[in-house]
Amino acid sequence: MRISEAVEGYLSHLGSVRRLSPATVRAYRSDLADLTRASGDPEMRDIDVEALREWQWDATTSGLSKATAARRTSTVKGFLAWAREEGVIDADPAQRLVAPKRGRTLPTVATAPALEGLLSRMEAAAQTGDPVALRDHALLELLYGTGARVSEICGLDVDDVDHERRTLRLRGKGDKERVVPYGAPAARALDAYLVRGRPALRARAEDIDAAVFVGARGCRLGPRTVHSLVSRVVGPAVGAESLGPHALRHSAATHLLDGGADLRSVQEILGHASLGTTQIYTHVSAERLREAYRLAHPRA
């Protein structure tokens, strides 16, 4: 069996058995497609650790970040471990493969006043009654107000919203569900959109769709549209040239910790499987504290 054939079996396993999200499976596919191309798609039994190390080295010299290189190594380790368990190969050469150490990169975080000003301007624009303005205001309020991933917000259905308790039922990585609260500003924006914005947009589509957020043609809004919105609207407002929806998630987590929320609560809100993932935000808060000290204290 060649690598390309085994890769298809592995990707099918990731989607149907491990129930990883389509976006995660696409990332695995991209990494393994690069391995297939670089190695010339040999028979699985012909893969050895030297070929894998050469693939690692090519990634390093091509300018990929340490985090990306480490992810690619993790991908191939998982792939070959699966192949060994399935009897496709007799021995796993990736066991001797060492992943490069990830560099710690602090996430981009917008300040609370900057986001407050932006959302106030979006609220004013939404008061004109324009369906897209109503949608965009509600969308950004929920992204920042809940710290949700863009895929979770795009996957939100009308029945996932509990207006009385002001909570959303989100489906995260591995199709795991969690319930998160949202605040009064997000509630007002969401109610206005559902009453005045969504019906106008849905009227443009013939099919029945339970999606909360829909596009100009009335169908479920896609992540690419949300990325474009955040980059176009939020980026300039907070002084960032390139900004994605994940920056609002980072900002929500950091502002929760700055406001006194405990780490476990933030972990549950974000849907992190490991507390270690959430701990990055304590470093962000510490960096901001040090900067404030440096600027304000006479003996800094």
Identified catalytic residue from 10, 144, 193, 281? 281
Identified catalytic residue from 13, 173, 188, 202? 173
Q: Where are the beta strands (DSSP E) in 115-165?
A: 161-162
Catalytic residue flag (residue 193):
no
Identified catalytic residue from 77, 169, 196, 246? 246
Q: Are 173 and 20 in contact (CB under 8 A)?
A: yes
- From residue 245, give the alpha-carbon distance in Å to each of 81, 150, 230: 34, 6, 6
Tokens of 117: 């000003």
The DSSP result for 2-56, as a single string, is: BHHHHHHHHHHHHHHTS---HHHHHHHHHHHHHHHHHHTS-BGGG--HHHHHHHH
Identified catalytic residue from 72, 149, 171, 250? 149
Catalytic residue flag (residue 45):
no
- Residue 171, beta-bridge partner list: 177
State how beta strands 161-162 and 177-181 pair. Answer: unpaired
Catalytic residue flag (residue 255):
no
Catalytic residue flag (residue 281):
yes
Catalytic residue flag (residue 204):
no
State how beta strands 167-171 and 161-162 pair. Answer: antiparallel
**Residues known to be catalytic:** 149, 173, 246, 249, 272, 281
